[in-house]
Structure formats: structure tokens, C-alpha cells
Amino acid sequence: MLGRDEHILKTAEDWAQSGRGVALATVVETWGSAPRPVGSNLVIDSDGNFLGSVSGGCVEGAVVTEAIDVIESGKPKVLEFGVADEAAWQVGLSCGGTIRVYVEKVS
């Protein structure tokens, strides 16, 4: 689910203040074609609920899974996703290119 950046960050704050485990994923770098620009956010709670978008396709699900690990461990991660243009549609991505996503626990 997409949301405006201010709404995504406010949601992260609200979820954390209500006692939920929360992580924030942010697109920090892109190369080639990428569906979301640098600075795009995805907020995730420990139950796998999320708001925002960092890419779409199978990447979003992978980021949610990694974010739950970040919530549990408290250790941030940098994730990199890339796919050749020829394979993009086969794995559910709308384009080729590479993105780097920083995932951190919100406290």
C-alpha cells in the first residue's frame, strides 16, 4: 500500500509509540531503471503489516521479511536487489535495474 512520505513516517512513529516493533526501510541508491526513487520509504511492524513502497513485486515481500529480522535483532541492514532486464518480468518486477535499501529499527 502506498502512502505519502509524511504519512509513512508518522505511521512509523505512531506504531512505535503504541508498543509495536517497527522498522523503516528507505531506498538509498538506485542504478538503471527503478520503480521508486531514492528516499522512498516502507514502514513495517513485527506482524508484517506495512505502509509505503520501496519497489514493488517480489522485492517488497523480501524487504518485509528482512525488516522483521531487523526488528528482532535491532541490527540495521543494507539490502541490494537487482535483476537483468530480460529476467525482470519473470520474477514479478516491472523493470530492470538495481536498488539498495537501508532497513533500521525504529525506537
With residue 17 as reference, give the H or E element that holds it. Answer: helix 5-17
User: What's the average model confidence in pLDDT over 72-79?
Assistant: 97
User: What's the average model confidence in pLDDT over 51-70?
Assistant: 91
Residue type at 48 in one-letter notation: G
pLDDT at residue 31 in the model = 87
pLDDT band at 38 (very low <50, low <70, confident <90, very high): very high
The string of pLDDT tens digits covering residues 8-30 is 999 999 999 999 999 999 999 99
Burial 39-68 (b: 16+ CB within 10 A, else e): ebbbbbbeeeebbbbbbbbebbeebbebbb
- Reading across the β-sheet that carries 22-31, which strands appear in turn? 50-52, 41-45, 22-31, 97-106, 77-83
